[in-house]
Amino acid sequence: MKVIHTITDLEELLQQHRQEGKTIGFVPTMGALHQGHITLVKRCVEENDICVVSIFVNPTQFNNREDLRLYPRTPEKDYELLESTGADIVFVPSEEEIYPAPDTRVFDFGLLDKVMEGAYRPGHFNGVAQVVSKLFAFVKPHKAYFGEKDFQQLAIVREMVKQQELPVEIIGVPIVREPSGLALSSRNQRLSEEQREHAAEIYRIMQESTLLAGEQSPDQIVRFVTGSVNNVPGLRVEYFGIVDGDSLQPVSSWQDSGNIVGAIAVYCGDVRLIDNIRYR
């Protein structure tokens, strides 16, 4: 496994592999890797000749500077994990390497980035699009892998690829959970044991809500989930919405779409957690 820090070295190495006719898969990450990331990497290794993983904590997608400062960074542990998965190349650039000058591009995703995460984290998805488009330009992957926990991000990346007509297949990989049901996240490292127990209630309550969906409307389910999670000690719902899985717009009836997802953001103490569940 090679660890590379510059765009020039990365592009030279990948050009050699392309000339040999090898397929290139890519997993962009911000490090602090867990089994959710490793699932993405293993899938990438299985489906491509060369697996590239990037580790870069992208400042342009943080609208909260304190969240950026506190974001966990564990490079040596990350390298060990990636070595064990069979990853071929780890790209670990500096901020100056990715942004030699400020990126002033503004993307237009219509209504996709105006709801849920986009409503509460203004500029977040523009920052995601900036860095992912840059990474795609450097790596030029045939396939790229993203976790479905970041459901809205996956939709944004797919839209960006479509708009820019990029020759990359975007593959969503199902959420990986702890035995308790808590969705794996790098931010879980900041939770105490008691907080982890409370946070596990988020998914349990959403699961319970899927059983009620036949009898209650989406609006009633939204009220049930929001109220139930807020009743758990230390949890505070920022939003919970039931949306069309393609447009990300709220649905008022279960007949509005054949692809309906519930998406939630919850503060557990000062740690912000997101999750989602499919209704149909």
190 and 168 in a common domain: no
Model pTM? Answer: 0.94
Task: Please state the domain count of the chain.
Answer: 2
168 plus 193 within the same structural domain? no
Residue 181 lies in a domain: no
pLDDT over 90 (residue 214): no
User: What would the pLDDT profile of 30-69 be if each residue is shown by its tens digit?
Assistant: 999 999 999 999 999 999 999 999 999 999 999 888 888 8
Is residue 109 situated within a structural domain? yes
The CATH number that applies at residue 29 is 3.40.50.620
Domain that holds residue 52: 2-173
The reply to whether 123 and 220 lie within a common domain is: no
Q: For 209-230, what is the mean pLDDT?
A: 97
* Residue among 34, 37, 142, 198 flagged as catalytic: 37
- The pLDDT, as a whole number, for residue 68 is 86
Q: What percent of the chain has pLDDT over 70?
A: 100
Are both 126 and 252 inside the same structural domain? no
- Same domain? For 260 and 121 the reply is no
Per-residue 3-state assignment (H helix, E strand, C coil) for the chain = CEEECCHHHHHHHHHHHHHCCCCEEEEEECCCCCHHHHHHHHHHHHHCCEEEEEECCCHHHCCCHHHHHHCCCCHHHHHHHHHHHCCCEEECCCHHHHCCCCCCCCCCCCCCCCCCHHHHCCCHHHHHHHHHHHHHHHHCCCEEEEECCCHHHHHHHHHHHHHHCCCCEEEEECCCECCCCCECCHHHHHCCHHHHHHHHHHHHHHHHHHHHCCCCCHHHHHHHHHHHHHCCCCEEEEEEEEEECCCCCECCCCCCCCCEEEEEEEEECCEEEEEEEECC
- In this structure, the answer to whether residues 18 and 120 fall within a common structural domain is yes
Is 5 annotated in the active site?
no
Examine the domain organization and report whether 137 and 195 are in the same domain: no
Residue 70 has pLDDT above 90, yes or no: no
The residue out of 128, 146, 173 marking a domain boundary is: 173
